[in-house]
Amino acid sequence: MWLMPSTPSRAQRRMASGSKDFSARLAETPKALEQWLAVLVEAGADAFHLSQPKFWQPAFPEIDGELNLAGWAKKLTGVTAITVGAVGLSGDVYESFGGKIAQRTPLDELLKRLERDEFDLVAVGRPLLQDPAWLEKVRQNRVEQIADFTPTAFATMS
Ligand SMILES: Cc1cc2nc3c(=O)[nH]c(=O)nc-3n(C[C@H](O)[C@H](O)[C@H](O)COP(=O)(O)O)c2cc1C
């Protein structure tokens, strides 16, 4: 858990600026990922929350064209895995820090992956900043009432 600032921090704005490099990975191979996750499993971790800018991006595309980072964690350890990253949105959080609007998108891809147990749980960040009723609207199939994410919603954090 961390404390959320009321506006994007300098570091977050820097991440959104032109010099970012998101090619870096937590681990370069599934084997390397397995090695450091094993330490956390051994220490008693109950769940892994593996953040990605976009949940649909494969973690190791050279091996599997679909499986995301939470999916790999679950596959490698059997531990509960939580995914996050642009759920229901067209653009990632760094683009939003940079001032871009992210459009609402369908949840079909997410549901497909949940149904095949790629991961167990789903976290959402910006959708709840934009609209505290997001989950209710999804549950009640009122998704057309969900607005696009506008970066001004960052200012609602307090
Ligand atoms: C204002 C703000 C602050 C954040 N701070 C952190 C952080 O300190 N560490 C971290 O790992 N992720 C941080 N995140 C990323 C979120 O946990 C989440 O992974 C990200 O927003 C993607 O989810 P979303 O696309 O649903 O917004 C932050 C996100 C926001 C909007």
Helices 30-42, 69-77: inter-axial angle, 10-degree rounding? 60
Instruction: Compute the half-sphere exposure of residue 35: CA atoms within 13 Å on the CB side of its CA.
Output: 7
Residue 18 lies in a domain: no
Nearest C-alpha neighbor of 118 from the set 77, 67, 84: 67
Domain that holds residue 122: 28-156
pLDDT at res. 26: 81
Residue 14 lies in a domain: no
What is the rounded CA–CA span in Å between residue 27 and residue 150? 32
What is the rounded CA–CA span in Å between residue 59 and residue 116? 17
Global model pTM greater than 0.85: yes
Residue 34 lies in a domain: yes
Residue 128 lies in a domain: yes
pLDDT in tens, 71-129: 999 999 999 999 999 999 999 999 999 999 999 999 999 999 999 999 999 999 999 99
Domain count within the chain: 1
Residue 5 lies in a domain: no
pLDDT in tens, 8-66: 555 555 555 555 666 778 899 999 999 999 999 999 999 999 999 999 999 999 999 99
- Cα(129) to centroid(ligand 1), Å: 11
Q: β-strand 121-123 against 80-84: which pairing, if any?
A: parallel
Nearest atom within ligand 1 for CA of residue 157: 1
- Cα(93) to centroid(ligand 1), Å: 7
Residue 99 lies in a domain: yes
What is the rounded CA–CA span in Å between residue 31 and residue 50? 16
Residue with tokens 């991961």: 119
Residue 7 lies in a domain: no
What is the rounded CA–CA span in Å between residue 71 and residue 115? 12
Residue 23 lies in a domain: no
- Cα(51) to centroid(ligand 1), Å: 8
